[in-house]
Amino acid sequence: MAASDAAAIRRDFPLLRQLVHGKPLAYLDNASTTQKPHVVIDRLTQYYAEENANVHRGLHSLSDRATRAFEEARVTVGRFLNADPREVVFVRGTTEAINLVAATFGRSCVGPADEIVVSEMEHHSNIVPWQILCEQQGAQLRIIPITDAGELDLDAYAALLTDRTRLVAVTHVSNAMGTVNPITEIVRAAHGRGIPVLVDGAQAVAHGPVDVRALGCDFYAFSGHKLFGPTGIGALYGTSALLESMPPYQSGGDMIRSVSFEHTVYDIPPHRFEAGTPDIAGAVGLAAAIDYLSGIGFERIADHERELLEYATGALARIPGVRVIGTAAHKVGVLSFVLDDVHPHDVATILDREGVAIRAGHHCCQPLMERLGVPATARASLALYNNHDDIDALSTALQTARGLFG
């Protein structure tokens, strides 16, 4: 991506223009949440100013307009994932999507002595729902180990798959290390034994194109706020066959065909899983974000971030006392690191005073931190609007932090 193009993209994000503690903001906390371009903010305003009404069943013009906008957003998400829109369920985010699958598919298909396979690098939202399910059903959680570089041990993974395995749930991209997992290989091995695969795509969707058909996965979950869209909206992709076999997640309005005191007939997917009034504005805002990114080109975004990650990795390598955590051969723009004996929270606090926003802590990956032998890390995460100036500000601020602690 040319420097002029990158500068123009940056101007699309109004929040990035502000000063923090008198310094230009270098926002490097994108793995936590991304900033929103004008087109998304404007689309939300337009919806509430011109289209706001409840969707489905309404007979007036506003309801029809809102319904069309909502269902067109579903089409946009389906196109983004290369999925049929009927395979797209709107949810609050990745966490709800995983809980939905655990509460429906999981409770229907997992029984005593069955097994669910996850990995050592999972976010808590892709561990705890399965732990709860295992406790309720008498099943067992099996763990794919990782290497010291932060990559999955695929031989160990293959050995974990048995006749008792009912689901593999694995992240596409590690939020704590940036590791990109070989999903097609993971799916191929699982499908060879008739085991479905759920992919946590929260950290993958902002960094490049996602094709669920090519990946071959059975479920794919992501959050809008990590894709330059609104908070409180996300999507779950599920194959038609699995969604049709699953009972409702929540019950109430808009997920039924008919109700009597004797019997209720549920709607077909995806509406079966969307009880109550949905986040209509969130859905249309998410669609606006996807259209914005598609206009730039996901391959261009990936190339830009790849170059920026290389530049940032080199910059951190030149700072004495900095050790990068997670050195997988294939990773996206996430750099977790530790600085000598300085606690990551102190590092983040000092960097904030220099206008640099990063994340510090266990990143909702406490089992991973235990495996890596660290209590926490500092994490700088990149997005399409970041540039060399942001990395230079990070590097300078880290030198300042190092100087303060001797």
pLDDT tens, position by position, 249-297: 999 999 999 999 999 999 999 999 999 999 999 999 999 999 999 999 9
Q: Are residues 170 and 128 both part of a single domain?
A: yes
Domain harbouring 96, CATH code: 3.40.640.10
- For residue 35, being part of any structural domain is answered with no
pTM of the model: 0.97
Q: Are residues 148 and 275 both part of a single domain?
A: yes
Q: Are residues 81 and 168 both part of a single domain?
A: yes
Q: Are residues 246 and 367 both part of a single domain?
A: no
Q: Are residues 205 and 344 both part of a single domain?
A: no
Domain harbouring 302, CATH code: 3.90.1150.10
pLDDT in tens, 163-220: 999 999 999 999 999 999 999 999 999 999 999 999 999 999 999 899 999 999 999 9
Q: Are residues 16 and 69 both part of a single domain?
A: no
Q: Are residues 359 and 238 both part of a single domain?
A: no
Q: Are residues 351 and 306 both part of a single domain?
A: yes
Residue among 34, 35, 37, 25 nearest 357 (CA): 25
pLDDT of residue 290: 98
pLDDT band at 341 (very low <50, low <70, confident <90, very high): confident
- Please answer whether residues 319 and 402 qualify as being in contact, where contact means their C-beta atoms are separated by less than 8 angstroms: yes
Contacts of 230 (CB under 8 A, 6+ apart): 36, 40, 44, 224, 279, 281, 282, 285, 286
Q: Are residues 22 and 133 both part of a single domain?
A: no
pLDDT in tens, 40-51: 999 999 999 999
* Positions of E strands within 37-114: 88-91
pLDDT band at 1 (very low <50, low <70, confident <90, very high): low
- Please answer whether residues 188 and 218 qualify as being in contact, where contact means their C-beta atoms are separated by less than 8 angstroms: no
The number of domains in the chain is 2
pLDDT of residue 6: 79
Residue 85, CB-side half-sphere exposure with 13 Å CA sphere: 8
Domain boundary among 247, 266, 294: 294
- For residue 34, being part of any structural domain is answered with no
pLDDT of residue 282: 98
Q: Which of 109, 134, 217, 364 is catalytic?
A: 364
- For residue 36, being part of any structural domain is answered with no
Percent of the chain topping pLDDT 70: 99
Average pLDDT on 130-158 reads 98
pLDDT of residue 193: 98
Residue 110's φ and ψ, nearest 5 degrees, are: -105, 130
Domain range for 7: 3-29+297-404
pLDDT in tens, 207-262: 989 999 999 999 999 999 999 999 999 999 999 999 999 999 999 999 999 999 99
Domain boundary among 294, 314, 343: 294
Residue among 262, 170, 178 nearest 217 (CA): 170
Domain boundary among 231, 260, 294: 294
- For residue 76, being part of any structural domain is answered with yes
Tokens of 390: 């942001």
- Please answer whether residues 351 and 401 qualify as being in contact, where contact means their C-beta atoms are separated by less than 8 angstroms: yes
Q: Are residues 69 and 170 both part of a single domain?
A: yes
Q: Are residues 229 and 335 both part of a single domain?
A: no
217 is annotated as an active-site residue: no
Maximum CA extent, the chain: 74
Pairing, β 140-144 against β 115-119:
parallel
Q: Are residues 271 and 315 both part of a single domain?
A: no
Average pLDDT, the chain: 96
SS3 256: strand
